[in-house]
Amino acid sequence: MKDFLKKNGWTNILLAVVFAIIGIFMIMNPDSANRVISYILGGCLIAIGAIKIINYFVVKGNTDFYNNDLLYGIIAIIVGLITIFYSSLIESVFRIVIGIWIIYSGLLRLSLSLKLHSAKINIWSTSLVLSVMMIIGGIYMICSNGALISIIGIIMLMYSIIDLIESIIFVKYVDKVLQ
């Protein structure tokens, strides 16, 4: 169990670094970041749709499992095209999804800070403050309709720094938390 938790902590550290890189890119290039995200997501959906359609015709609808591939493929291609041509919609969806992720992570960190407190580890109060900051940042991201992509980048960068600190604390004290 301890090894699993440590591995999970290191995975969180890696994700925090990736979020920091994305956040910095969004701060430095807010206009192109929105387009890049839309094009990548739209391209992936179009590719998935094409694969589903090809798969449908290769299997020729012989099994029940693949009967819906044609429909799924067409829908994925349409959604992919909408994603590419309506990038402002993607910005809103992206903002909400990232906000929910940050709130979720903040709640997990809040739980960790309470476990650190019950294990009588002094750093629990720092962990608590960072968790609350994460939750507030996530709520702001969801509620702020006019949030520019650069503000989202700043919040993502702040989140990644807080998550990085929290993950390092977790990896360092995982033995005491499990006792």
CA dihedral (53, 54, 60, 65) in degrees, to 10, reads -60
Average pLDDT over residues 134-145: 83
pLDDT band at 50 (very low <50, low <70, confident <90, very high): very high
**Residue entry with tokens 């650190």:** 116
DSSP class of 86: -
Instruction: Say yes or no to pLDDT of 132 above 80.
Output: yes
| Mean per-residue pLDDT of the chain | 82
Q: Could you give the angle at the alpha carbon of 11 between the alpha carbons of 36 and 136, nearest 5°? A: 70
- The H-assigned helical ranges of the chain are 2-28, 30-59, 69-85, 87-118, 124-143, 149-177
User: pLDDT for 98-127, tens place per residue?
Assistant: 889 889 999 998 998 998 889 888 888 888
Q: Please state, in angstroms and rounded to a whole number, the distance separating the CA atoms of residues 10 and 19.
A: 14
| Rg of the chain over all Cα atoms, to the nearest angstrom | 20
Structural contact between residues 56 and 66, judged by C-beta atoms closer than 8 angstroms: yes
SS3 29: coil
pTM check: above 0.85: no
Specify whether the CB–CB gap between 27 and 158 falls below 8 A. no
| pLDDT on residue 66 | 54
Segment 63-73, tens digit of pLDDT: 555 567 888 89
